């Protein structure tokens, strides 16, 4: 991990428990490392397709099974979903309407929208009843109001839909857990496999830096911010 400022989630109770979904990816792994280094963190668990329990957004049952398996290890004060999909063997993000197809649309929505929706459904009950944060990585290109370039159809749409799910879930969760914060979070361009085809290695920030930025933003959010869409800089983004 590059030398970056240490992260301490001071707004969370001492000790706190954390859970990172997508811990095998660049951002997720960096978040786990930061949280493990925080002396105030009692435990941080990482979930991925290869973890135990495993979680796979292409396997609906695995999400519920993972939540049941982790119930006894909770409650959790911090849950972050760092899993997502920008491109795959089906192709790069669509630049034109003529490139749209069911296979790529379905795959993108399963990874970026449907899986995270199930995560909200099954893991929100694992949040602590005191101060707790549930963040799902979104993307600025999912902002309808900020879309000036077009293209990237399924990715943009899947993240816009994710933002609505987070907003809606935040309203419901607040009725029983007024101290909980549910947010969509834009990580910026990060040097990772996801951004590699788009000059990510040249223009992206190191995963350790990106993870530290985002954890710092989450640490500063308050219940009135729940349901919001934020950048790694802390800026509120337009829907």
Give 59-95 pLDDT, tens digit per residue: 999 999 999 999 999 899 999 999 998 877 887 889 9
Q: How many CB atoms lie within 10 A of CB 188?
A: 17
Alpha-carbon distance of 200 to 117, in angstroms, equals: 27
Q: Indicate the DSSP class of residue 39.
A: T
According to the model, what pLDDT value does residue 37 have?
95
According to the model, what pLDDT value does residue 200 have?
46
Note whether 232 and 185 are within 8 A (CB): yes
Note whether 62 and 94 are within 8 A (CB): no
Note whether 133 and 78 are within 8 A (CB): yes
Q: What tens digit of pLDDT does each residue of 101-158 get?
A: 999 999 999 999 999 999 999 999 999 999 999 999 999 999 999 998 999 999 999 9
Q: Residue 221 above 50 pLDDT?
A: yes
Longest dimension (CA), the chain: 53
Residues paired with 46 in a beta bridge: 20
Q: What tens digit of pLDDT does each residue of 6-32 get?
A: 789 999 999 999 999 999 999 999 999
pTM of the shown model = 0.92
Distances (CA, A) of 31 to 9, 132, 213, 214, 233: 12, 17, 10, 9, 16
Alpha-carbon distance of 144 to 147, in angstroms, equals: 5
Tokens (6 digits) for 127: 């949040």
Q: What tens digit of pLDDT does each residue of 34-43 get?
A: 999 999 999 9
Q: Residue 1 above 90 pLDDT?
A: no
């Amino acid at each position: 991990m590059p030398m970056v400022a240490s992260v301490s989630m001071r707004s969370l109770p001492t000790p706190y428990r954390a859970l990172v979904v997508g811990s095998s990816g660049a951002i997720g792994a960096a978040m786990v490392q930061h949280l493990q280094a925080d002396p105030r963190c009692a435990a941080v668990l990482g979930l991925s397709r290869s973890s135990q329990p495993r979680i796979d957004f292409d396997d609906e049952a695995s999400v519920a099974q993972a939540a049941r398996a982790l119930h006894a290890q909770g409650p959790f004060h911090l849950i972050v979903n760092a899993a997502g999909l920008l491109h795959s063997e089906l192709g790069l993000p669509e630049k034109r309407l003529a490139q749209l197809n069911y296979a790529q649309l379905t795959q993108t929505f399963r990874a970026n929208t449907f899986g995270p929706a199930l995560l909200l459904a099954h893991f929100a009950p694992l949040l602590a009843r005191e101060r707790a944060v549930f963040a799902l990585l979104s993307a600025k290109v999912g902002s309808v109001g900020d879309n000036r370039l077009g293209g990237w159809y399924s990715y943009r749409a899947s993240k816009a839909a994710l933002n609505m799910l987070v907003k809606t879930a935040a309203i419901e969760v607040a009725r029983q857990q007024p101290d909980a914060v549910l947010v969509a979070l834009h990580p910026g361009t990060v040097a990772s496999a996801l951004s590699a085809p788009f000059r990510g290695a040249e223009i992206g920030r190191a995963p350790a830096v990106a993870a530290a930025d985002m954890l710092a933003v989450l640490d500063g959010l308050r219940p009135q911010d729940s349901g919001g869409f934020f950048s790694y800089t802390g800026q509120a983004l337009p829907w």
